[in-house]
Structure 1
Amino acid sequence: MAAARVPAERAAAALSALSAAAERTETCGWPGRVSGVEDARAEVIDRGRTLSGALDSVALAARIGPDMLGASERRRYLLIVQNPAESRATGGIIGGFGLLTADRGRLSLDGISGNGSLPGGPTQQTPATVLPGPFAARYASFWPDRVWANANLTPDYPTVGKLYSHLYRTGTGIDVDGTISVDPTTLSYLLAASRPAVLPDGQVVTSANLVDLVESKVYARIPTVPARDRFFAQVGQAVYAAVESGSGDTTKLLTAMSKAAKEGRLNLSSNHSDEQDVLSTTALGGALPTGSGPYLAVVTQNATASKLDYWLRRRTSYRVQRLPNGAGAVTIAVQLTNMAPDGLPEYVRKREDVRNFGGNPQAQNNLWLSVYTGRGSLFAGAHLDGQPLGLTSGSEDGLPIVSTYLTVDRGQTRTLELKVLEPQAGPALAVRPQPLPVPERLDVEGVPVTSPWSRRVKN
């Protein structure tokens, strides 16, 4: 990896020069269209952008990868497996964890446990850190500095990583070098690129059944929390053993991790500032965007301590009308459908946000729904199921946010429609995905879609 750094940086510089030259080349008007010069120029520019992203990733990995893998000193990372059945901004609540050690490129994973064994308990007695003022204004009432399950209410993973690191240090006395968050879908990608996992009792866990097993079926099969914790730990150990067994294809494993990072399912933070600066420019770092332009992030978070979000289906449409002054009149519609079947265990259906709710036999879900838009955008009104609705307004890192709590009955679809004025209608809409058990369906009209990290300045 270290040896790849200089060649990758040289290749990236050469490709940048080629792309710049292609963009400066004249299209030659009608003769260029007839002769194919215009098409060739467009193809060079398009392929250059694609290759540039790949080379940037290689160069960044070669730049920080060796040290992060313990080339100069041993590194320790808190590995977190999130459970999207109880959703949070970066995926789901912490469902399991372990300590990953990297020593000169050799990896070992210890202390794999379910969330019943969280250091300091699920809610720590004292705050693990001091929350910054603007962040505290939005999140302090949820105790993200004390409650493990609420450390990732923010979609900004660098902040999440710091909170997890502080909580772990407070609970164990151990300083970690960073954090790694994955979800069961990520683990299923890794199994598909390696081999099935085998549990101590001989049960085989495959890429096809892993997600359904740990996010849904386990609650009916194993009724007690301690027994489920042991099962989650066994699954984690078995998946790790399958991936490190050497039976997989390295290219497929890297492709699987790249796919998970682009979907927001694999995030990495570093407590070394130079490394974190690099990570924040990538999908793997999961940082909120720093650039201007149209932006969209829809975030749904479980407000009941249930596991009903496994049955949540989400569809979002984004339509923009370009105005003469260059701004965009935007309509955003978010549809939420509760597909929960009858007969789910009471643990899955529980409503801890409501006293004496009678076990919630109808599996009603309650969600904290937030919509993030671009810097300088203005909220112009909302309707819920066709009726006017007032929303809570706020901001995070300069991004405007509107939020509301929303109940969704079994079999019900609710639609929140927003009107927003973006100061720019383009050139592209940066969309931040939220990892869900079933990926969101997104329809965008009037503007191309890009990654939010393509706008960050690379160091």
Structure 2
Amino acid sequence: MEKKNTSRVRRCGLCRGSGHNKRSCKTAKASSHVSVLVHTTDTAGHSEHVVNLRPSKKEDTLRDVPAFEESKHSLPMRETYDFAKAIREKKQEEAFEDVLFEQIQEPLAEQADQIESPGVPESTALPEQLVSAGRSTQPREWFASISGIKFASIAVSLILVVLLPFPAFSYYKQLQQTGEEVMNASASGFLALQASSIEALNSDTGGAQQDISAALESFSQARSILDENHRALQFVVRSLPLVGDAFEGRSALLEAGHHMALGHTYLIKGIREVQESNLAISDKLLLLKDHIRAARPQYQQALLSLASASSASLPATYQAPLNEFEVLFATFVDDMSEIETLIDALATVIGHDDFRRYLIVFQNEGELRATGGFIGSFATCDFQKGKLLGCDIPAGGSYDLKGQLGSYVKPPVPLQLVNGRWEFQDANWWPDFSASAQKLAWFYEQSEHTTVDGVIAINSSVLEDFLSIVGPIENIENDVVLTADSAINTLQYKVEVDYDKTENKPKAIIGDLAEQFIAMTQHMSQKDIMKVISALHKNANQKDIQFYFTDNQVEQKFQKFGWAGEVLQTQAGQDYLFVVNSNIQGQKSDAKIEQEIEHQAAIQEDGRIIVTTVVRRSHTGSPGEQFYGGPNISYTRLYVPKGAVLLDAGGFEYPPEDAFHVPESWYTQDKDLERIEQGERVHLDSGTRVTEQFGKTVFGNWMITEPGKTTEAYMVYELPFTVAFAVQPEARVAAWTDKLFPAQMKEASRYGLVVQSQSGNMSHFYSSIIYPDGWEPAWRSDESLTLASNGATVETLLTQDKIFGLVMQKKSDE
């Protein structure tokens, strides 16, 4: 094939002709202008041999963002806002609070200090938001009463209202619309918090952690609604008097929930680590304490946020629950602090740093004694390094110490009905558990020649509560099945009747069962353990378990918790009553006794207080019934304010003189008895024994109640003080009303009463406080008090110590 001619023709760069170049081009020389030829193309080529040394330009992300332009108004005009209408709407939202003017006693009872503060407490002032609900007929005086700072803030808000354009108020409408969404998310968060608390208490740490995460997510969602939708005008909204409160309140509520969730995270982590660790009990307690200490700052911050979250800024359906929750949460935060204190005390008690030995006495309420019941059995338990080393429970019970007792002391006169020698089983003579515990420890030391580091009293009802949680227990060795309903009767029969008389170890079953119970607790579920702990807490509050420790610091901590069973010391001018029954030679008949206590304090015109106390005991047993069918013989004591004078007494019955045991002449007087019971004397008309004990005056006498019968005894006495009368401004619904209408000066008086419950004795208590004509109630400390025209009444079941207070004021002359 013939090859084509591929030679390339060179052309002029100016005229594009051939045969010459641009230097010799005639066309260029003939022209006076220099022409520049530019080659263009639609698509630029790219050479793969070209290296671009310049950095590439970053994409301009703002290129497509349109520039801000003011809205074009064809006819600009100034919008006005009906500020007065907004205030009226705000007041209508708070109108429900006006009912407090008619039922003021209930919130006063919650806010005021019980009994101790003189007159009407300052805390009777209602929350600040109620000020706006007042109806003032003198607006100038109202404005004049506002402080300069407060007035300045209102003035600034008004200026903002005038200067801000109308969109600020449309923003308020937007806040209202999204408020429901915020509150729903917040409610979900608090419900998750509540669920996590319950699961944590039931040791379900996995479920608790899931609910904590859900709570945090809900609070974050609610926070994002506020922040993302309304960030632009938050600083303005906070300055508006109507909008700012609502915004700040809800924002503070979210902050509170967030801090609560964080606090729960620490707490749940601590519970989980305690469950998974193999540490000694004392080390587990201290580990839990460290996590509680880490959680407390979060709880404290949550409490502060709750305090700043006014319920009035929330929808009506959330207001009451928030107020209740704030009170409960404040109690929870206080409990966290107290738990730290308790953990320190418990670590010491179970021998974290040293060896500890305790005397544990088992009391039978069926045979009532001052601290709870007759001591038929006892144990000594040793602890070290947070571990129980062992317990010794004598098979013969308390009487095993009788033969080893080397001291011979005379018992209190009433106890001589059962024995002429004072012994261990009768040592719980005083209702002050500290005093009785020390006497028990003294008798134990005189018998066993060893000391103990504390005494713990446990009533038989604690066993019933334990069995109600774990269910029936079968003990094969003793051929018994114990249930919550029958355990006491079953054990009573085994130790009194069905035991080996030759071996003579009636209380051996107690040791067998105790060993079985201890073994059971080591294999209990976490849920049942929490139930047992809750039951033990209830038992301690009701004095079914009482503690005494030789370590003063530990003893004071248990006194603070109300678990030491001491006789309370009252303040000057405060009434006091403690009815104490001791069954002496009355078998187990207290199991069939129902007791009522009626107390009446009559205030005289001159302020003197005459008190009448009636004790009514009904025996529901049948004559001849085993254990319970005999007469109930009770030495009944009334502890009243020191210096009270017995005016009259009746209804008592003294046992036969020949039934008493006369102590041997060479028996010594007990030093503790002489130290505690002083000033002994006898009320001649009634034979009532009067002494001074524990800072109180004590009236003692005998009540004997036959099966199927009811006995009633009374004592009338005058208190050693008068009620305080003082002239002060009349009690008002709120302190701010004095700025509108000056309060009249009225004569006021207060009365306070402390009533203590006896361990093992659940009495029905009734009290009446009666003032002379012309007086009316102004304040009460407890909503259980029923107000009357000239005083108040109260009715309650004495499972715990109670405190009541009443303030009366002179009626206005009509």
Partner of residue 370 from structure 1, selected from 613, 637, 640: 637
Structure 1 distance, partners of 2:698, 2:326, is 35
Structure 1 residues 331 and 168: alpha-carbon distance in aligned structure 2, compared to 1, 3 A threshold: same
What's 2:620 paired with?
339
**Would the aligned equivalents of 1:91 and 1:183 in 2 still touch at CA under 8 Å?**
yes
Question: Distance in 2 between the 1:73 and 1:328 partners?
Answer: 52
Amino acid at match of 1:338: H
* Superposed CA offset, 1:324-359 (max 9, x none): 6776543322111222323334xx47xxxxxxxxxx
**Farther off after superposition, 331-340 or 222-231:** 222-231
What corresponds to 2:181 in structure 1? Answer: none
In 2 relative to 1, CA 296–3 (structure 1 residues): closer, same or farther, beyond 3 Å? farther
For the residues of structure 1 that align with 2:359 and 2:412, how far apart are their CA atoms? 27
* Cα offset, 1:242, TM superposition: 3.5
Q: After superposition, give the CA deviation of every residue in 1:302-344 in whole Å (9 maximum; x if it has no partner).
A: 1226332222221212233455677654332211122232333
Secondary structure, in 3 states, of the residue corresponding to 2:621?
coil
- The aligned residue for residue 459 of structure 2 is 183
Check the 8 A contact 2:642/2:696 in 1, yes or no.
yes
Determine if the alignment matches structure 1 residue 417 to structure 2 residue 714.
Answer: yes
Structure 1 residues 364 and 139, CA, compared in 2 at 3 Å: closer, same or farther?
A: closer
How far is 1:195 from its partner? 4.0
Post-superposition offset of 1:164: 1.8
**Partner residue of 1:440?**
763
Instruction: Say whether the 8 Å CA contact 2:617–2:705 is kept in structure 1.
Output: yes
Deviation at 1:284, TM superposition (A): 1.5
Q: Would you say 1:230 and 2:508 are equivalent positions?
A: yes
Any conservation in 1 of the 2:414–2:635 contact (CA below 8 Å)? no
1:8–1:371: structure 2 CA closer, same or farther, 3 Å change rule? Answer: farther
Inter-partner Cα distance in structure 2 for 1:171 and 1:254:
34
Residue 489 (structure 2) aligns with: 212
Please identify which structure carries the higher strand content.
1
Where 1:442 maps in the other structure, the secondary structure is strand
Aligned to 1:358: none
- Name the residue aligned to 1:126: 407
Tell me the CA shift for residue 301 of structure 1. 0.7
Q: TM-score, normalised by structure 2?
A: 0.45
Q: Deviations over 1:142-179 (max 9, x none)?
A: 99994112211101111122122222222222221111
Partner of 2:472: 196
3-state SS of paired residue (2:367): strand
- Name the residue aligned to 2:534: 255
How has the CA–CA distance of structure 1 residues 445 and 190 changed in structure 2, closer, same or farther, with 3 Å as cutoff? farther
Of 217-226 and 188-197, more deviation after overlay is shown by 217-226
Distance 1:328 1:46, change over 3 A: farther
Give 4+ residue runs of structure 1 displaced > 6 Å after superposition: 12-19, 38-42, 136-145, 324-327
Q: Distance in 1 between matches of 2:554 and 2:356?
A: 13
Q: 1:3 Cα deviation (Å)? A: 4.5
AA paired with 2:512? Q
User: 2:509, 2:706 → 1: CA distance?
Assistant: 31
User: Are 1:74 and 2:341 counterparts?
Assistant: no
Q: Which residue of 2 aligns with 1:397?
A: 694
Distance 1:317 1:433 in 2: 15
Name 2:174's counterpart in structure 1.
Answer: none
Q: CA deviation at 1:9?
A: 11
Q: Which residue of 1 aligns with 2:286?
A: 2
In structure 1, the partner of 2:115 is none
Number of aligned pairs? 423
Q: Secondary structure at the match of 1:165?
A: helix
Alpha-carbon RMSD across the aligned residues, in angstroms, is: 4.3
Point out the structure with the larger helix share: 2
Worse-matched range after superposition: 413-422 or 444-453: 444-453
Q: Is the 8 A contact 2:342 2:557 kept in 1?
A: no
Indicate how the Cα distance of structure 1 residues 223 and 263 shifts in structure 2: closer, same or farther if over 3 A, else same: farther
The residue number in structure 1 matching 2:167 is: none
- Measured in 1, the distance between the counterparts of 2:379 and 2:469 equals 22
SS in 2 for 1:256: helix
Greater alpha carbon shift after TM alignment, 3-12 vs 83-92? 3-12
Q: Which residue of 1 aligns with 2:387?
A: 106
Task: Tell me the residue number matched to 2:754.
Answer: 429
Separation in 2 of the partners of 1:313 and 1:384?
17
1:432–1:452 contact (8 Å) kept in structure 2:
yes
**What TM-score, normalized to structure 1?**
0.76
Q: Is the 8 A contact 1:146 1:167 kept in 2?
A: no
Which residue number corresponds to residue 741 of structure 2? none
> Aligned partners of 2:303, 2:599: CA distance in 1, in Å?
35
Q: How does 1:300-315 map to 2 (within 5 A)?
A: 300-304=581-585, 306-315=587-596
Cα 1:166–1:328 change in 2 (3 A) is same
Structure 2 residue 434 is the aligned partner of structure 1 residue 158 = yes
Kindly indicate whether the alpha-carbon contact (under 8 Å) linking 2:398 and 2:424 is maintained by their aligned counterparts in 1.
no
How far the C-alpha of 1:189 sits from its partner, in A, is: 1.3
Please tell me whether the aligned partners of residues 366 and 405 of structure 1 are also in contact (alpha carbons under 8 angstroms): yes
- Structure 1 residue 291 and structure 2 residue 586: aligned? no
- Could you tell me how far 1:252 is from its partner in structure 2? 1.0
2:449 to 173, 191, 210: 173
* Structure 2 unpaired stretches of 5+: 1-284, 654-684, 724-749, 770-780, 783-795, 805-814
Residue 68 of structure 1 deviates from its aligned partner by 0.7
**Structure 1 unmatched ranges of 5 or more:** 350-361
Question: 1:2 deviation in Å?
Answer: 2.8
Supply the distance in 2 between the matched residues of 1:285 and 1:368 (Cα, whole angstroms). Answer: 23
Percent of counterpart pairs with the same letter? 17
Q: Give the whole-Å Cα distance in 2 for the aligned partners of 1:115 and 1:99.
A: 14
Cα distance change of structure 1 residues 75 and 294 upon mapping to structure 2, 3 Å threshold: same
Q: Within 1, Cα distance between the matches of 2:334 and 2:360?
A: 27
Partner of 2:538, secondary structure, is helix
Distance across 1 between alignment mates of 2:711 and 2:297: 47
Q: Against the structure 1 CA distance between its residues 285 and 264, is the aligned structure 2 distance closer, same or farther, given a 3 Å change threshold?
A: same
Q: Is the 8 A contact 2:599 2:768 kept in 1?
A: yes
Residue deviations 1:22-65 (CA, integer Å, cap 9, x gap): 8xx9x9xxx9xxx99x9899858964785477446424312311
- The corresponding residue for 1:353 is none
1:62 and 2:385 correspond: no
Aligned to 2:149: none
Contact 1:124 1:146 in 2 (8 A): no
> 1:278 and 2:557 equivalent?
yes
SS at 1:228 equivalent: coil
Matched with 2:667 is none
Partner amino acid for 2:588?
A: K
CA deviation string 1:368-424 (max 9, x = no partner): 0111123454433223289x7442211211112111012222211111122344446
1:34-49 paired onto structure 2 within 5 Å: 47=328
Task: Select between 309-318 and 8-17 the one with higher mean Cα deviation.
Answer: 8-17
| Deviation per residue, 1:426-453 (Å, 9 max, x gap) | 44533233313xx322234447589659
